[in-house]
Structure 1
Amino acid sequence: MSVVGVDLTAEFCDAATELSRWVGLSDKTKFQQGDALNLAFDDCEFDAAITVHVAMNIENKMRMYEEARRILSAGGTFAVYDILRGAGEDILYPVPWARDPSISHLATPDEMETLLADAGFEIVRVIDSTEDSLQWLEARTAQTGAAKPLPVTTELLFGPEFREMTQNQLRGLKERRILTVSYICKA
């Protein structure tokens, strides 16, 4: 089995390649820069595909899910794990995926189900992990300076606004402004 990863940002592909090398998986992984709306793969090339926190920055989700369906063989598995828009109030910015609303394109759960079905997927299972995400983030933010600082942190990646982003994400989960939901689908 091999894994091919795609990201719009070349530096993230480079980082993924290096992380795979660190854990001894470089012979089973390949990462390439690409566009989720126009994947450089043949029809039916893969048996499975997964997106993790991808769609929240993509306005044309239908095109992305059509591309995912195109590259999957019949009966292939497609898993989506994303942040969705909840029924609560407006999202507070900045958040880890967007500093302002101009690049935040969250779908609601109903919109996601329609998008996936219209792209040709059968939704097999829906998992709302919002409460788990909330508990994890609460525990993570409750940790104090007693721990030794790590050389590579999410704060390094997201910059000086990271704490505000995290607090806004935490409040969004608490108030169900945002949800974390997974979809397991069949092509």
Structure 2
Amino acid sequence: MVEKQKVEEHYRSDALMDRLQAALSDAGLGDGNLTIEQLAPLDQFHSRGLLATAELAKALSPRANERVLDIGSGLGGPSRYLAATYGCVVAGIDLSESFVSAATYLAGRAGLDEMVAYQKGDALALPFDDEEFDIAWTQHVAMNIADRAEFYSEASRILRPSGRLAVYDVLAGGGGPLVYPVPWSKTSEGSCLLTQDAMKSHLANAGLEIISWKDRTDAALAWFQALHKQQAAQPALPVGLDLAMGPEFKIATANLARNLDEGRAVLIEAVAVKRKVTG
């Protein structure tokens, strides 16, 4: 089992706010409102970035004023996209206090602080009432969670009947053990990938019926290839994911691409609906 403390340590980013504000200033973004597109290289903390968020949202079909819980909200990119694009009201939780502070700051800079809010929280003990949300959203979070049954049970608990769970995660492939480090873990001790069949079983046991299941592995590989070319032409972006995770993050990202290419992992986008209780 992956201890919560170890996960927090992996994502801890000391002095993140100071580095974030300095990087934005150096990029000419020190003042004024920031757009979703300007922030996307920094705050879309998953493979395929903003494109993956937009595709998952399209599969989900959110409606204005629906309440969304972003589980593992990171720097808040997806939550702000849902608020700005669809008019959703979003709560985000994350184990990292520094991520919560940075996400709150960026929401203010994007003019969305009345539609999104963030707090420190545990995905296995969500600090919300039963049936409080219309949508639960999670991207590249479950790979650190060993107790996947409890993870999906908690997501189901906070959903209203017919509420939807949106998932974008890395799963185990059949090509052998992962090559480390990867973005979510330096070693195998911090990684908890499920097979597709195991994930489907856990969702069903939590009362969640899959209505969409798409393999995005090939699309991710094409994206990684384009990213590699971009990095070769422009080695350092003014604001990027390495701002939060450090320069070694590029190695971890390259290993993820290798794992996907060699069939050691797959990338899945899924939407599930909470079944109504009858009788």
- The verdict on a shared fold, with TM-score over 0.5 as the criterion, is yes
Within 2, Cα distance between the matches of 1:77 and 1:56?
Answer: 20
Superposed counterparts of 1:79-98, under 5 Å: 79-98=166-185
**In the alignment, is residue 62 of structure 1 matched against residue 62 of structure 2?**
no
- Superposed structure 1 runs of 4+ greater than 4 Å apart: none
Deviations 1:142-165 (A, max 9, x none): 224543833332223222422321
Partner of 1:182: 269
> What is the SS of the residue equivalent to 1:48?
strand
Unaligned runs of 5+ in 2: 1-64, 66-88, 275-279
Within 2, Cα distance between the matches of 1:180 and 1:37?
Answer: 23
Partner of 2:72: none
Asked whether the equivalents of residues 155 and 162 of structure 1 are also in contact (C-alpha less than 8 Å), the reply is yes
> TM-score, normalized by length of structure 1?
0.95
> What is the SS of the residue equivalent to 1:123?
strand
> What is the SS of the residue equivalent to 1:66?
helix
Give the C-alpha shift of residue 106 in structure 1: 0.5
Within 2, Cα distance between the matches of 1:160 and 1:29?
Answer: 29
Deviations 1:26-56 (A, max 9, x none): 1100001000000010000001111111100
Structure number with greater CO (CA < 8 Å, separation at least 6) is 1
Unaligned runs of 5+ in 1: none
Q: How many pairs were matched up? A: 187
CA RMSD of aligned residues (A): 1.4
In terms of fraction of residues, the more strand-rich structure is 1
Counterpart residue type for residue 38 of structure 1: A
**In the alignment, is residue 158 of structure 1 matched against residue 245 of structure 2?**
yes
Within 1, Cα distance between the matches of 2:111 and 2:214?
Answer: 31
Deviations 1:53-98 (A, max 9, x none): 1100000011011000000000001111111111112100001110
> TM-score, normalized by length of structure 2?
0.64
Within 2, Cα distance between the matches of 1:101 and 1:87?
Answer: 16
Within 2, Cα distance between the matches of 1:32 and 1:163?
Answer: 28
